[in-house]
Amino acid sequence: MAHIDEAPRATKPGEEAVAPPQGREKKLPGRDRFTVVTMVTIPLLLVVALVWVPALLSVVLSFGKWNGFGDLDTIEWVGFQNYRDIVTIYPAFWPAIQHNLIWLAFLFFLPTLFGMFLAVLLDREMRGSRIYQTAFYMPVVLSLALIGFIWQLFYSRDQGLINDIFGSQVDWYGDPDINLWAVLVATAWRHTGYIMLIYLAGLKGVDASLREAAAVDGASEVKTFFHVIFPVMRPINMIVIVIVVIESLRAFDLVWVVNKGRNGLELIGALVAQNVVGEATRYGFGSALAVIMMLISSVFITVYLRNVFREERRG
């Protein structure tokens, strides 16, 4: 609610100035109040119905065994048995954790840094900048499933472009020793353009006087970027880190298209799909895997929100 601050004023010559009553609030008209309440209530209900309710039901279902057939009273409640089975006797779990961590490190150190490098180059208004921006951003509009099919043209053992050039017979998608890296390269093709666009937007918003001041002080372009521009883009950096973490944890489409997340391509997201919508139909077990993935995500989200709130308090 808006507060109206008014300076003390004298009504007639010789009278003392009288301060207006403090805390007086301006009330919105009825139509505006209805609009505000509607704009808050509808998104809130959608978030609760589509995010929080399914998440809480997944947590509840993770403590039971259910194959999806029969009524809900057929659920057998087993406590933490699903979680114990996942970490002790489920062979795909720890490789999936390892692969998700590799996914995270790869996205952060290669396509993210390369995307930032491309953004710095394109921000220099070089000739054909718009064409390069479009070319690098084009893979972002494609789904990961479609990207998997496109890269099949490169990776195919019998008719793939890479094997034709080098005269080899490498099974890039089928060999469990290399298929994860082949998929990561395909993912990087899309991720680089995404990060480039975010950093390019951030660079366009940096105050030009900062660059001019650094140039007057004799700083090189490299020093200007790392000591002046990069710290100014701290909010952009935080957003990029969150995006990289989320992309790494929810990685699913590409490995599912290749081999349904098996034989060297185990990921947490693929394991959830295998147990919930696959042949196993173990809803309780799959829900326990989803809860584990949600808890891992919560750690990074908590760190991000803590930094955001700290910045707001400083501001």
Each residue's pLDDT, cut to its tens digit, for the chain (315 residues) gives: 444 444 445 445 555 555 555 555 667 788 888 899 999 999 999 999 998 999 999 999 999 988 877 777 888 899 999 999 999 999 999 999 999 999 999 999 999 999 999 999 988 877 888 888 888 888 888 887 788 888 888 998 888 899 899 888 888 988 889 999 999 999 999 899 999 999 999 998 888 888 888 888 888 888 888 888 888 888 888 889 888 988 888 888 888 888 888 888 899 989 988 888 766 678 899 999 999 988 988 888 888 778 777 877 776
Closest CA to 9 of 17, 113, 1: 17
CATH code assigned to 81-313: 1.10.3720.10
pLDDT at position 7: 46
Q: What is the C-alpha to C-alpha distance for residues 95 and 259, in angstroms, rounded to an integer? A: 16
pLDDT at position 1: 41
Calculate Rg over the CA atoms of the chain.
27
Positive or negative, the CA dihedral 84, 65, 291, 186 is positive
User: Could you tell me the two tokens for 37?
Assistant: 């309440």
User: Could you tell me the two tokens for 253?
Assistant: 């489409």
Closest CA to 96 of 296, 267, 286: 267
Q: What is the C-alpha to C-alpha distance for residues 111 and 192, in angstroms, rounded to an integer? A: 5
pLDDT at position 214: 87
Where in the chain are the domains? Answer: 81-313
Closest CA to 304 of 241, 254, 256: 241
Give the alpha-carbon dihedral of 304, 310, 314, 315, to 10 degrees: 50
Query: Are 62 and 287 a contacting pair, CB within 8 Å?
Result: yes
Closest CA to 155 of 196, 197, 185: 185
Q: What is the C-alpha to C-alpha distance for residues 187 and 52, in angstroms, rounded to an integer? A: 29
Which runs of consecutive H residues, i.e. helices, occur in the chain?
A: 30-47, 53-61, 81-88, 93-107, 113-122, 129-137, 144-155, 161-166, 179-204, 208-216, 221-224, 230-232, 234-249, 253-259, 268-276, 283-314
> Which one-letter DSSP state was computed for residue 232?
H
Positive or negative, the CA dihedral 163, 166, 168, 172 is negative
